[in-house]
Amino acid sequence: MENKEEDVRLGANKFSERQPIGTAAQTQDKDYQEPPAAALFDPDELASWSFYRAGIAEFIATFLFLYISIMTVMGVSKSDSKCSTVGIQGIAWAFGGMIFALVYCTAGISGGHINPAVTFGLFLARKLSLTRAFFYMVMQCLGAICGAGVVKGFQKHLYQSKGGGANVVNGGYTKGDGLGAEIVGTFVLVYTVFSATDAKRSARDSHVPILAPLPIGFAVFLVHLATIPITGTGINPARSLGAAIIYNQKPAWDDHWIFWVGPFIGAALAALYHQVVIRAIPFKSK
């Protein structure tokens, strides 16, 4: 019994319950390495094969994402009854599941963004250079256009008659409603991306890097469940652009600005919240 009491006393001294707060917490020794901020412009990247390989990975991933997700939308749209198809839940699973799979496949090559809003948020947090961010966005948009184009090539009449998977603000909702839904939905996604790829969590929880694609894909799934009735769910400007260009009808272009402005605002807010509030990085001592 005496030995047990001694163990308890030593444990209490070693692991104090009193946690430092405020500036005291910021001066504690770290058991992780905060990655340095990326340069705004890094000309050396342009001479690196890994830079172009990453862009190609983003192109292929966004191509596959649009192909599977829009093909699923078309499959649901062609039926008179959603009960005979995978329905809205199936569409949400197609988007979320593909993001899960593609982030898993490409995270080690390009970071697995597959979304200009995610790239924008990570750029604001200085996780990548402006050069790489711009290149990623271009490749993502090109991949999305090609993915939607292949779907139309398989079923042209159905694609044009059923809206081509293009994002529009649905009846009963205002443009303000659509913009708000896109801002909040993208905030959820980008905030999840920051949390899942946090250097502090990755160092302390060995399972975090392995499971990172899962919460990201699940966030996409949940946001789609919530906002498909409002906008069809964009939260990804490349996805919205690809479908709009291939569909190329007036309704898609009337609301198209919402699917760029909303996601970019949501991504900026998520970056600000995670970096300033959650991690308090601007206030930490060097």
pTM assigned to the model = 0.84
Ordered by where they begin, the domains of the chain are: 52-77+84-278 (1.20.1080.10)
Q: How far apart are CA 43 and CA 41, in angstroms?
A: 6
pLDDT band at 12 (very low <50, low <70, confident <90, very high): very low
Mean pLDDT of 257-273: 97
Cα–Cα–Cα angle for 130, 40, 236, nearest 5°?
30
Helical spans, DSSP H, in 110-174: 116-124, 130-154, 156-161
With 60 as the cut, is the pLDDT of residue 4 above it?
no
pLDDT band at 6 (very low <50, low <70, confident <90, very high): low
Q: Which two tokens stand for residue 175?
A: 């443009």
With 80 as the cut, is the pLDDT of residue 31 above it?
no
List pLDDT tens digits, range 80-115.
Answer: 766 667 888 999 999 999 999 999 999 999 999 999
DSSP per-residue string spanning 23-92: HHHHTSPPSS-PPPPPPS--GGGGG-HHHHHHHHHHHHHHHHHHHHHHHHHHHHHTSS-GGGS-HHHHHH
Q: How far apart are CA 83 and CA 112, in angstroms?
A: 34
